[in-house]
Chain A
Amino acid sequence: MTDIHVTSGKAGPTGGSRHLLEVKDLYVEFHTRDGVARVINGVSYHLDPGETLAVLGESGSGKSVTAQAIMGILDMPPAKIPSGQILYKGENLLAMSEEKRRQVRGKEISMIFQDALSALNPVFPVGWQISETLRTRAGMSRKEGLKRVVELMDLVKIPAAKARVRDYPHQFSGGMRQRVMIAMSLAMEPKVLIADEPTTALDVTVQAQIMDLLGDLRRDMNMGLILITHDLGVVADVADRIAVMYAGRIVEHADVRNVYKHPAHPYTEGLLDSIPRLDSKGTELATIKGLPPNLMRPPTGCAFHPRCKYAKAVCTTETPRSLDLGHGRTSACHFAKEMLDGTLR
Chain B
Amino acid sequence: MFRYLVRRFLQMIMVFIATTLIVYSLMYLTGGDPIQALAGEKPVTDLQRAQLTVKYGLDQPFLVRYWNYLTDLLHLDFGTTLTGRPIKDILLDAWPVTMQLALIAILVTIIFGVTAGVIAGIRRGSIFDNATLVLTLIVIGIPSVVLAPLAQYLFTIQWKLFPTTASGDPTWYELVLPGIVLGSLSVATAMRLTRASVSENLRADFVRTARSKGMPGRRVIGIHVLRNSLIPIVTFLGVELGSLMAGAIVTESVFNVPGVGFQLARGLKTEDTPLVIGIVSVLVIVFLVANLIVDLLYAVLDPRIRYE
Contacts and interface: CB of A to CB of B under 8 A. Distances in A.
Interface of A: 71, 73, 102-107, 110-111, 113, 115, 118-125, 132-133, 136-137, 168, 170-171, 181, 184, 188
A119 B206 contact: yes
B209 A119 contact: yes
Nearest to B303: A168
Nearest to A109: B212
Given A115-B205, A136-B219, A123 B212 contact: no
A137 B304 contact: no
A137 B214 contact: yes
Contacts of A121: 206, 209-210, 224, 227-228
Interface of B: 204-206, 208-216, 219, 224, 227-228, 231, 301-304, 307
A113 B228 contact: no
Given A119-B206, A120-B206, A105 B212 contact: yes
B214 A133 contact: yes
B222 to A, nearest CB: 12
A170 B205 contact: no
29 contacts: A73-B211, A73-B212, A102-B216, A104-B214, A105-B211, A105-B214, A106-B214, A110-B212, A113-B205, A113-B209, A115-B205, A118-B204, A118-B206, A119-B205, A119-B206, A119-B209, A120-B209, A121-B227, A122-B303, A122-B304, A123-B302, A123-B303, A132-B213, A133-B214, A133-B215, A136-B219, A168-B304, A184-B209, A184-B213
Contact of A73 (B206, B208, B304, B307): B208
A102 B214 contact: yes
A133 B214 CA distance: 8
A110 B219 CA distance: 18
Contacts of B303: 122-123, 125, 168, 170
Contacts of B212: 71, 73, 105-106, 110-111
Nearest to A111: B212
B215 A136 contact: yes
Contacts of B228: 121-123
A105 B219 CA distance: 15
Contacts of A110: 212-213
A120 B206 CA distance: 5
Nearest to A137: B214
A133 B213 contact: yes
Contacts of A73: 208, 211-212
A107 B214 contact: yes
Kindly list the 10 A-B residue pairs having the minimum CB-CB distance in the complex, ordered from nearest. A106-B214, A105-B214, A118-B205, A121-B206, A106-B213, A168-B303, A119-B205, A111-B212, A119-B209, A73-B211
Contacts of B208: 73, 113, 119
Given A105-B211, A123-B302, A132-B210, 4 more contacts: A105-B213, A121-B209, A121-B227, A122-B304
A72 to B, nearest CB: 8
Given A73-B208, A113-B209, A121-B209, A132 B215 contact: yes
B29 to A, nearest CB: 48
Contacts of A118: 204-206
Contacts of B211: 73, 105
Contacts of A119: 205-206, 208-209
